[in-house]
Structure 1
Amino acid sequence: MQMLRWTTAGKGVRLGVIIHHTDAEREYAYDRTSKVGKLDKALGEAPRNGWIVVDVKQDWNRIFPGN
């Protein structure tokens, strides 16, 4: 979250992206209430800061090549 804040605070065009790991079947999933990798603050700040949230389960067809 700190890196996203720093990156998107500068002048000019900036890109802030959060990869939201939501697909427990293909990869470890974590969210706001996970034991590790909590995204509660970053997900809350994303809309206000214009950060793009990519949902692994909904937005990605494949996690690792060949799988």
Structure 2
Amino acid sequence: MLEWTTAGPGARLGLILHHDDAEREFAYDRNSPFGRLDRALAAAPQRGWTVVSMRNDWERVYRLSASPCSP
């Protein structure tokens, strides 16, 4: 799906939400027993895909401490 989406002309966004925080969500990674993500993570830098880490980046994406109305 990411290959198809980012192959077209014009600006495109290829984004992988890396579920690497087992405290918030089921974690899956390169060697997890389900939902392996090894090929996509390896291809991301070469293809210009953005990888968002639930463990490291999630508060920048979704402010957990802010109210829904704050900027």
* Shorter-chain TM-score range: 0.7 to 0.9
Provide the secondary structure at the position in 2 that maps to 1:57. coil
Counterpart of 1:10 in structure 2 is 8
Answer with 1 or 2: which has the greater Rg: 2
For residue 56 of structure 2, the aligned residue among 55, 58, 62 is 58
1:31 deviates by 0.1
Counterpart of 2:23 in structure 1 is 25
Question: What's the TM-score, normalizing by structure 2?
Answer: 0.81
1:26 deviates by 1.4
Higher relative contact order (CA 8 A, sep 6+): 1
Provide the secondary structure at the position in 2 that maps to 1:26. coil
1:50 deviates by 0.1
RMSD of the alignment, in Å? 1.4
Between Structure 1 and Structure 2, which shows a larger proportion of helix residues? 1
Return 5+ residue gaps in structure 1 as ranges. none
